[in-house]
Chains A and B, each alone.
Chain A
């Protein structure tokens, strides 16, 4: 056995093992630190604040949990949401996230560490990202070896696809769910490998935690059965599979039903039936194999096989019949929208309207995964080479998650872990091949005496320098090239070339290249994280001409205004996107919010927004609306405003009132969506248009009022409002709040009353005609 560079021989194996494990621990500590630190951009650039939309609800619920205790939280009925319906929060929420924060909060307070609940919520996601890195390490170590595991942990720690959902302040279910996903998968693989019910039960417990934390638990519910089924079809049934799957399924299913929001779904809906079917199949197969071990008759075995197939077919038939009869709920719309990307747009506009449910654009794969997306297929191929049971799992996971990530932007999140795992397997195989000291046995050793001496010294330098001292290594490589060439030509002249990699130059080219790519990957991740994924979206930032940062804080300005200037029970109507924020920051009653459970209620708001004032006013009064809040980005060029979301309001309203609201009416005859003087009549009289552009042109004096989002000129004579009055507009006009007027004291309709107040003479159209009729 020859080596490429001399290995020290006087070190005992235990020393090597100890050093390796120490190095692993140190590396892992650094990875955790990097994972946490890179998520803190949001806190450094802005402040310790809860981000976006859903996290505001989670934060509000967590505050209730921390202040009042778990039972109050469990029985919490929130009358201020979905006015006048209210919301049973305890039964319609995945409580895992809040419970986790509550436990941490109580733990810290027990030790007299008075940490604010907000800071716990803000920093929960970064903290759990370190745990995710650990779970990914364990998972990948089962696939290949601990060094691949470390690479995978480093990848998942900084990859933007995961950071996008777990920066500090992004207090959402995904923050803990990805850790639970990976850890459950790790336990499942471990249970399958060892054949131990202990790991199966642990997997079930973490599956329960996952069910309590995220609606995406259905991914696990279907991934594990698919894996088991594929193993079964590959003829890999074993006692270990039976033990692992059955102990996971029985405990996991029973425990998942403890979460009130899930309830009896695991025994009643189609999404969960696959797992039950595989469970049944495993029982039959296990029984058959037991019987077969006792009887050797050929005929009997045939009969057994036939009866197994018959029972399987019968089970599938029973499932179809039960679905048809309505005993098992059929697939839901959200599920269909995964297979038919046009489905949601046609039938459930509310699902299609959510921006993160859009299909993924190609560049975002590169943006979120960069180098890993190229290594990903290579890693999957590596899995095929060995194809142990756990590799089958990675292959299935890769296929399924790739498909889902292509369908929906948000499911990029479930793809990211498997990409990290397979990329780590690929890269670590590459590095193993090129760092490996042992060389394949040469057919003859003629050049060895000459070559290995000179080669060895240099390669020793190079081997020690990989990573930290790449510069010196490169120099060593350059000096060794010539002697290598000489020896290579000499050996090739004498005998057929040996196979394998033994020159330090060939090794270094590859290794340095790989390291260079990894360095670029780190730069890319840091750049994406700091620029794209760290914005709280509650606070916006722009850059001044001198390069300094300018903070645009209109949202909080408006919500604070509401909090300070309106009565406690004032009802604020806005599009559902802002419901959670209003409830969280302004503490006021909302009509609709981001928990979009009642389509009709949302459509009512959409109808009010897209109808003329006279039509909208009765709706507003019936719902006791005191204030209407719209987001307007025309002044600043903020594109995520309500005029850009307006068509979704129209579509959703049209879904419920197709006679009153029609989408085509909001376009110009040429089919353009315009807000300038060519805008259609319906568009210009709609409440949303009026509220957005009310007094907008006055801002420009006599000049041209330009909407900077849509780059269109707004007519000089702006819309007038009779039934609403402007209450508050923020500094940059992003949030505009209108007060709904009460009915006129004299019983006139508000339009006439306004006209009277402005001194306009009442048009006398009808009386004239009457007089004429008399004549």
Chain B
């Protein structure tokens, strides 16, 4: 079904870019291609190194754990999306259900990460760690209820 294929690939392109972007570990591709003077490139690569260094040293292990799950979801989303574009997205509802499942889980997990991040302590005054996890679980259950219903 070529028309369906094309439609669906286009409809989700913005969200794909969204998905690949938060991959903190590997942002080099998008930034190093920017044309700039040699000194700028130098400082850029050095600041990327500091980025990696500060990430590995300053991030609490719990957040790293969440990040690894996020990375997995990004990979899963990329695989599903490219399958939908390149091979078939025929049961469009099933494709959407699977893809939304990864997007939704990604977003909910990212929300959890924001909430439990000690740097955001002031921002989320009413949401403690336990509350954040409960939110995460509730959101995931509701999300997957609809995903299951939509799989068809």
Contact = CB atoms under 8 A, between A and B. Distances in A.
A482 interface: no
B44 A197 contact: no
Which of B13, B14, B138 has the most CB atoms of chain A within a 10 A radius of its CB?
B14
A286 B11 contact: no
B120 A254 contact: no
A283 interface: yes
B149 A258 contact: yes
Interface in B45-77: 47-48, 50-51, 54-55, 58
B136 A254 contact: no
Interface residues of B, number: 63
A250 B44 contact: no
A295 B146 CA distance: 39
Q: Is the interface of B mostly helix, strand, loop or mixed?
A: helix
A426 interface: no
B85 interface: no
A290 B135 contact: no
Contact of B138 (A197, A277, A294, A325): A197
Given A254-B100, A322-B10, A328-B10, A238 B143 contact: no
Contact of B54 (A201, A294, A306): A294
A286 B17 CA distance: 13
Given A197-B108, A247-B108, A315 B124 contact: no
A277 B11 contact: no
A239 B14 contact: no
Contacts of B50: 294-295, 297
A283 B18 contact: yes
B147 to A, nearest CB: 7
Contact of B15 (A198, A242, A276, A287): A276
A239 B120 contact: yes
Interface string A176-196: 000000000000000000111
A674 B148 CA distance: 62
Interface residues of A, number: 56
Contacts of A196: 126-127, 131, 135
A258 B143 CA distance: 12
B114 A239 contact: yes
B83 interface: no
B21 A283 contact: yes
Contacts, number: 171
Interface in B94-112: 96-97, 100, 103-104, 107-108, 110-112
Nearest to A240: B123
A234 interface: no
B124 A250 contact: no
Contacts of A194: 124, 126-127
B127 A251 contact: no
Interface string B136-147: 101100110011
Interface in A278-292: 279-280, 283-284, 286-287, 290-291
Given A239-B114, A240-B123, A295-B47, A280 B15 contact: yes
B137 to A, nearest CB: 10
Nearest to B43: A299
Nearest to A205: B142
A303 B34 contact: yes
Given A201-B142, A254-B150, A327-B6, 9 more contacts: A196-B127, A197-B132, A197-B138, A208-B146, A246-B108, A247-B107, A258-B150, A283-B21, A284-B18
Interface of B: 6-8, 10-15, 17-19, 21-22, 24, 27, 30-31, 34, 40, 43-44, 47-48, 50-51, 54-55, 58, 92-93, 96-97, 100, 103-104, 107-108, 110-112, 114-115, 117, 119-120, 123-124, 126-127, 131-132, 134-136, 138-139, 142-143, 146-147, 149-150
9 contacts: A196-B127, A197-B112, A198-B134, A198-B138, A200-B139, A254-B100, A280-B17, A283-B18, A291-B24
